[in-house]
Structure 1
Amino acid sequence: FGFGMPVWLYVLVPVWLGQSLISIRTYAEHQWSEHPEGRTVIVERSPLSFLFLNNNLHFVHHKSPTIAWYRLPKLFRDRREEWLRMNNGYAYP
């Protein structure tokens, strides 16, 4: 196969990298809180937002699950203070 690399390596590396990114994102999206509203994060600026379809606005997505992913940033910007108040300020700038 190409470059003298085995086929399994072509499969394993992308899967491992993809799973690593998803694991980091999933870990960062939630925290323990006595108040359910404060368990889901808002990451205001994320270099991975397009890759994960604006899931950095995870709380906004949970509260408005029918909104298309590409509309989440505007929805967040229009009501930023309200969103941050609703999720008890669990956000990364």
Structure 2
Amino acid sequence: AGIGATALTLLVGTPAITLIGAAGAAVAVALPRGGLLISVLVLPLTIPVLIFGVSASYGAVADPAPFLQPFLILAALTLFLAVLGPAAAALALRHG
């Protein structure tokens, strides 16, 4: 049960990290000194995804910890970033 839940958590959380990275890369390409900005912009945005991913994986293994609540928040973050990420990347590339 733990391996399947961890795989499901990875399946849901990986697109969120990818979409954050795509938006950050678009900002880095659009700006002249974007290499430094990408670490300041992308790293704080990935922390909630990592926290809820680890919480859901821990909830699948440990008995008293819940699995569903952090997993649903992780899914909501992924869906939110699926809408906002490409739009932010396009906006950064268009105005850069």
Does the pair score TM above 0.5? no
Q: Which structure's residues are more often helix, by fraction?
A: 2
Q: Which structure's residues are more often strand, by fraction?
A: 1
Q: Which has the larger radius of gyration?
A: 1
Work out which structure has the larger RCO, using CA pairs closer than 8 Å and 6 or more positions apart in sequence. Answer: 2
